[in-house]
Structure 1
């Protein structure tokens, strides 16, 4: 194969507000599985962009819970393709808290965090069907 696979380095970003209904613990903490669900969503878009298929999540090889996520946060979830196999794609994930509610100030107070707080990192593998045609090109630019 000549040159680098154009799917390597593809990055997809989602943002999501964490509603208070998702808080499960004291201090309005949200369980770590919330981030894993978001990683699945962003991985689906990666697969659509790289292979024209939603793909399936196969495994995580590493998950690190680095900081708490809370109800009222705005999370930015980033997925980057780091390896391309014939049917598998390795993806690095990062969930960052970019905004946080400040209920101690008032019920609706919130602030933008600069820099964001890295809450969860992971590496996972997705699988896609065997290609019957070359992967789509136009979606790779976004």
Structure 2
């Protein structure tokens, strides 16, 4: 069984992804990252990229900004015959600090949880 399997990716958010005032990035950016980390989960559990079927819950709890470094984590919480339930977290682990200079940034301790979700992925039947 792969319940408890955790996969983590880190990604820098470039300024080209900022769409709103204050260098804000739309929430769909995190959902795209959840798809990426879910793909690795499926590869590790089933040797297949799988398909994202649905979200049962998505919570946007803090902003994501251009210049952030994000840590995206997926944890398998349920294994069905072909479906897997996965909990996702997107946390800001580093953020720019323009008060200290144009390119200044800092590590956030603790990180800021920006998005959480629960989703379902499906994989082909085993041969």
TM-score band w.r.t. shorter chain: over 0.9
User: TM-score, structure 2 length as denominator?
Assistant: 0.99
- Report the CA distance between 1:105 and its aligned residue: 2.0
- Specify the alignment match of 1:128 in structure 2: 123
Partner of 1:83: 78
Give 1:104 shift: 2.8
Aligned length: 127
CA distance in 2: counterparts of 1:57 and 1:36, whole angstroms: 11
| TM superposition shift of 1:106 | 1.1
Task: List alignment gaps of at least 5 residues for structure 2.
Answer: none
**Structure 1: runs of 5+ lacking an equivalent:** 133-142
| Alpha-carbon distance in 2 for matches of 1:59, 1:106 | 42
Partner of 2:107: 112
* Bigger strand share: 2
CA offsets 1:47-97 (integer angstroms, 9 cap, x no match): 000000000000000000000000000000000000000000000000000
Say what the alpha-carbon RMSD is for the aligned residues: 0.5
The ranges of structure 1 where at least 4 consecutive aligned residues each deviate by more than 3 angstroms after the TM superposition are none
Which digits, 9 at most, give the CA deviation of each residue in 1:112-138, with x for residues without a partner? Answer: 000000000000000000011xxxxxx
| 3-state DSSP of counterpart to 1:47 | helix
